[in-house]
Protein backbone atom coordinates (compact mmCIF):
# COMPACT_ATOMS: atom_id res chain seq x y z
CA UNK A 1 0.00 0.00 0.00
CA UNK A 2 0.90 3.66 0.03
CA UNK A 3 3.51 4.74 2.53
CA UNK A 4 4.56 7.93 4.17
CA UNK A 5 8.07 8.53 5.43
CA UNK A 6 8.01 10.58 8.61
CA UNK A 7 11.11 11.96 10.28
CA UNK A 8 12.58 12.11 12.74
CA UNK A 9 11.35 8.98 14.50
CA UNK A 10 12.12 10.47 17.90
CA UNK A 11 13.18 13.78 19.37
CA UNK A 12 14.59 14.68 22.77
CA UNK A 13 14.48 18.40 23.42
CA UNK A 14 14.56 20.96 26.21
CA UNK A 15 11.42 22.78 27.25
CA UNK A 16 11.11 26.00 25.29
CA UNK A 17 12.82 24.71 22.16
CA UNK A 18 11.15 24.70 18.76
CA UNK A 19 10.33 21.38 17.07
CA UNK A 20 10.15 20.48 13.40
CA UNK A 21 9.06 17.23 11.79
CA UNK A 22 8.11 16.29 8.25
CA UNK A 23 6.53 13.68 6.03
CA UNK A 24 7.19 12.73 2.44
CA UNK A 25 5.36 10.44 0.10
CA UNK A 26 5.78 8.96 -3.35
CA UNK A 27 2.06 9.57 -3.93
CA UNK A 28 -0.01 12.71 -4.19
CA UNK A 29 -2.59 13.31 -1.49
CA UNK A 30 -5.65 15.56 -1.51
CA UNK A 31 -5.46 16.28 2.20
CA UNK A 32 -2.67 16.24 4.74
CA UNK A 33 -3.47 15.83 8.41
CA UNK A 34 -1.41 15.98 11.58
CA UNK A 35 -2.44 14.01 14.67
CA UNK A 36 -1.11 13.82 18.20
CA UNK A 37 -1.41 10.74 20.40
CA UNK A 38 -1.11 11.08 24.16
CA UNK A 39 -0.05 8.00 26.13
CA UNK A 40 -2.90 5.53 26.46
CA UNK A 41 -5.18 7.40 24.07
CA UNK A 42 -6.11 7.39 20.42
CA UNK A 43 -4.77 10.03 17.99
CA UNK A 44 -6.46 13.42 18.01
CA UNK A 45 -6.48 15.77 15.02
CA UNK A 46 -4.29 18.87 15.35
CA UNK A 47 -4.29 20.45 11.89
CA UNK A 48 -5.86 19.68 8.51
CA UNK A 49 -4.44 20.98 5.20
CA UNK A 50 -6.42 21.01 1.97
CA UNK A 51 -4.49 22.96 -0.67
CA UNK A 52 -0.98 22.69 -2.05
CA UNK A 53 1.13 25.44 -0.54
CA UNK A 54 -1.31 26.05 2.31
CA UNK A 55 0.22 27.17 5.59
CA UNK A 56 -2.01 26.78 8.65
CA UNK A 57 -1.48 27.62 12.29
CA UNK A 58 -3.17 26.37 15.44
CA UNK A 59 -1.71 28.18 18.44
CA UNK A 60 1.97 27.24 18.66
CA UNK A 61 1.59 24.70 15.86
CA UNK A 62 2.20 25.50 12.20
CA UNK A 63 1.85 23.05 9.33
CA UNK A 64 2.29 23.32 5.58
CA UNK A 65 0.97 21.33 2.63
CA UNK A 66 3.85 20.97 0.18
CA UNK A 67 3.60 22.44 -3.31
CA UNK A 68 4.13 19.05 -4.91
CA UNK A 69 1.33 17.59 -2.70
CA UNK A 70 3.78 14.88 -1.69
CA UNK A 71 5.05 16.36 1.56
CA UNK A 72 4.11 18.27 4.68
CA UNK A 73 5.81 19.62 7.76
CA UNK A 74 4.73 20.45 11.31
CA UNK A 75 6.47 22.97 13.53
CA UNK A 76 5.88 23.46 17.25
CA UNK A 77 7.22 26.65 18.76
CA UNK A 78 8.32 27.14 22.37
CA UNK A 79 7.61 23.56 23.45
CA UNK A 80 5.97 22.87 26.81
CA UNK A 81 5.69 19.62 28.81
CA UNK A 82 2.19 18.80 27.54
CA UNK A 83 3.53 18.63 23.99
CA UNK A 84 4.98 15.21 24.86
CA UNK A 85 3.48 12.41 22.80
CA UNK A 86 3.60 10.79 19.39
CA UNK A 87 2.87 12.93 16.35
CA UNK A 88 1.57 11.34 13.17
CA UNK A 89 1.20 12.76 9.71
CA UNK A 90 -1.51 11.29 7.51
CA UNK A 91 -2.44 11.64 3.86
CA UNK A 92 -5.99 11.19 2.67
CA UNK A 93 -6.84 9.83 -0.74
CA UNK A 94 -9.71 8.05 -2.46
CA UNK A 95 -12.43 6.39 -0.39
CA UNK A 96 -11.27 8.70 2.40
CA UNK A 97 -8.76 6.18 3.71
CA UNK A 98 -5.94 7.64 5.72
CA UNK A 99 -2.33 6.59 5.23
CA UNK A 100 -0.16 7.29 8.28
CA UNK A 101 3.48 8.04 8.77
CA UNK A 102 5.55 6.07 11.25
CA UNK A 103 5.20 8.69 13.95
CA UNK A 104 7.57 11.05 15.76
CA UNK A 105 7.92 10.44 19.48
CA UNK A 106 8.57 13.76 21.26
CA UNK A 107 10.21 13.79 24.68
CA UNK A 108 10.77 17.05 26.55
CA UNK A 109 13.26 17.59 29.32
CA UNK A 110 12.03 20.24 31.77
Partner 1 sequence: DVKVTQSSRYLVKRTGEKVFLECVQDMDHENMFWYRQDPGLGLRLIYFSYDVKMKEKGDIPEGYSVSREKKERFSLILESASTNQTSMYLCASLLVGWDRYTFGSGTRLTVV
Residue by residue, DSSP assigns 33-66 as EEEEE-TTS--EEEEEE-STT-EEEETTEEEEE-
Compute the radius of gyration of the chain from its Cα atoms: 13
Among 48, 56, 60, 62, binds partner 1 (CB under 8 A): 48
**Contact set for partner 1, span 49-108 (CB under 8 A):** 88, 90, 92, 95-103
For residues 20 and 102, which CB has a smaller minimum distance to partner 1 in the complex? 102
Round to whole Å and give the CA distance between 89 and 101.
5
**Contact set for partner 1, span 15-34 (CB under 8 A):** 31, 33
Among 8, 17, 44, 53, binds partner 1 (CB under 8 A): 44
Residue 76: CA atoms inside 13 Å, Cβ hemisphere, count? 26
Residues making contact with partner 1 (CB under 8 A):
1, 4, 6, 9, 31, 33, 40-45, 48, 88, 90, 92, 95-103
Amino acid sequence: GQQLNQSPQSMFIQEGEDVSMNCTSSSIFNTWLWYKQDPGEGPVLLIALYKAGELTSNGRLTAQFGITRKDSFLNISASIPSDVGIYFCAGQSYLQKLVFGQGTRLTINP
